[in-house]
Amino acid sequence: EAGVTQFPSHSVIEKGQTVTLRCDPISGHDNLYWYRRVMGKEIKFLLHFVKESKQDESGMPNNRFLAERTGGTYSTLKVQPAELEDSGVYFCASSQGSYNEQFFGPGTRLTVL
Amino acid sequence: GNSVTQMEGPVTLSEEAFLTINCTYTATGYPSLFWYVQYPGEGLQLLLKATKADDKGSNKGFEATYRKETTSFHLEKGSVQVSDSAVYFCALSSSSGGSYIPTFGRGTSLIVHP
């Protein structure tokens, strides 16, 4: 069974540009989560989807971040326009139920220059 | 609010050495406690967990005991291997808003030399 996959693995962009990260959860997992780890700091929760609906987006830092999960399958996280402080590793996770173990992807390392 | 504090890294050890990575937490209520591991190039994996006081989680030779009196969940392994080199994250979670969203520590990098 395939795990959670994320694309791209690395992205280097300039300040002001737009970047879109993609996450493919484990097949059949209704719950999808986005997290971010800024260099050397904690992994912070960004938001949680149940199917295509946003269950909790309390961790989204500001309105430059837009997450979607059309059709309840894969999800995208768009940063527009990117700022220097957006650099970090973005993790995606999925789970069967909200109280079940979350399975994490390898992360996308975003560098904003 | 909830928070997790773990020792700064990197921790550098020789193969077969004893490992301790300290983790303390602050939380309301009765959280579950976790250790996650991230091997190079891979995603976070759940290493072990404990759901109530005095529980001991164990996996792959690693152990951690949920100590409510000291609010700690230190990770230990008696004899590390080169393949244990990874980043280790301590985390807690409690039911909030209908899901278990974990609160993570900053991660501790472990480097094991042959």
- Per-residue confidence (pLDDT) for residue B73, from 0 to 100: 98
Q: Quick one: which H or E segment has residue B90? A: strand B86-93
Instruction: Please check whether residue A105 touches B, CB under 8 A.
Output: yes
Q: Is the pLDDT of residue B99 over 80?
A: no
Tell me the mean pLDDT in the region A42-56.
94
| Two structure tokens written together for A18 | 């737009």
| Two structure tokens written together for B18 | 């004893």
When mean pLDDT is compared across A47-61, A65-79, B88-102, the lowest value belongs to B88-102
- Per-residue confidence (pLDDT) for residue B94, from 0 to 100: 78
Picking from B44, B66, B39, B65, the residue whose alpha carbon sits closest to that of residue A43 is B44
* Residue labelled with tokens 């529980």: B55
Q: Please calculate the CA angle B27-A104-A84 and round it to the nearest 5 degrees.
A: 80
Tell me the mean pLDDT in the region B73-97.
91
SS3 B30: coil
Q: Is the pLDDT of residue B98 over 90?
A: no
List all residues of chain B from 44 to 103 with a beta carbon under 8 Å from chain A.
44-46, 89, 95, 97-103
A56 contacts B99? CB cut-off 8 A: yes
Kindly report the nearest CA distance between residue A15 and chain B, in angstroms: 26
Specify whether the CB–CB gap between A61 and A77 falls below 8 A.
no
Specify whether the CB–CB gap between B93 and B32 falls below 8 A.
yes
- Per-residue confidence (pLDDT) for residue A1, from 0 to 100: 64
* Residue labelled with tokens 């970090």: A88
The one-letter code for the residue type at A85 is: E
Nearest-CA residue of chain A relative to B97?
A56
- Per-residue confidence (pLDDT) for residue B95, from 0 to 100: 67
* Residue labelled with tokens 């979350």: A102
Interface test with B, best of A33, A55, A102, A108 (most B CBs within 10 A): A102
> DSSP H helical segments within chain B, as ranges?
none
* Chain B residues touching residue A45 (CB < 8 angstroms): 101-103
